[in-house]
Amino acid sequence: MDTFQQKVRTRIIVLTVLAVVVALIYTGFMLYRSELPILNSFTKGFHQGIFFGLELVILGFLVQNIKGSRSEAALKKMHIEENDERFSLIIQKTASMTCLVMFAALGVATVIAGFLNAAVFFSLLGALLFMVILFYAMWMYFARRN
């Protein structure tokens, strides 16, 4: 449990630094907005949403870890929730099924885009190739580890 406590402390530090860095990047963008290309309102809103969303997720994890580190019982509960074997299995199955569906959807979308628009076709093809390379890289990594 001491190792996990140390892990949670490190996580709190990393998350705090990350929250500050994300806030600083956003503030930097706001300060130098006039020097950036003029964007439409939807793109601006999307960028703001990404930053605020990321900040909220980081803060959420931060609060969760701070709560967990307050007492021995909370720490143990957090450790169990994170290392529960059934939860890990659910995550693994969800990730592999999502990956499979994404491969199929991207493949179909790439074929359809080939008949409609060259830019979209090459973007989707790039995404599909990236996913295939990443998949095999991960496969080789985990095959060597296990």
- Residues near another protein (CB under 8 A): 76-77, 79-81, 83-87, 89
Instruction: Pick the closer one to another protein by CB: 59 or 78.
Output: 78
Instruction: Pick the closer one to another protein by CB: 34 or 146.
Output: 146
Shortest distance, CB of residue 78 to another protein, whole angstroms?
Answer: 11
Shortest distance, CB of residue 60 to another protein, whole angstroms?
Answer: 20
Shortest distance, CB of residue 98 to another protein, whole angstroms?
Answer: 21
CB 5 within 8 A of CB 69: yes
Long-range contacts of 62-65 (CB under 8 A, 24+ apart): 62/12, 62/15, 62/16, 62/19, 65/8, 65/11, 65/12, 65/15
CB 105 within 8 A of CB 91: no
* Residue 58 CA to its chain's centroid (Å): 11
Residue 128 identity: L
Shortest distance, CB of residue 80 to another protein, whole angstroms?
Answer: 6
Instruction: Pick the closer one to another protein by CB: 84 or 137.
Output: 84
Instruction: Pick the closer one to another protein by CB: 73 or 116.
Output: 73
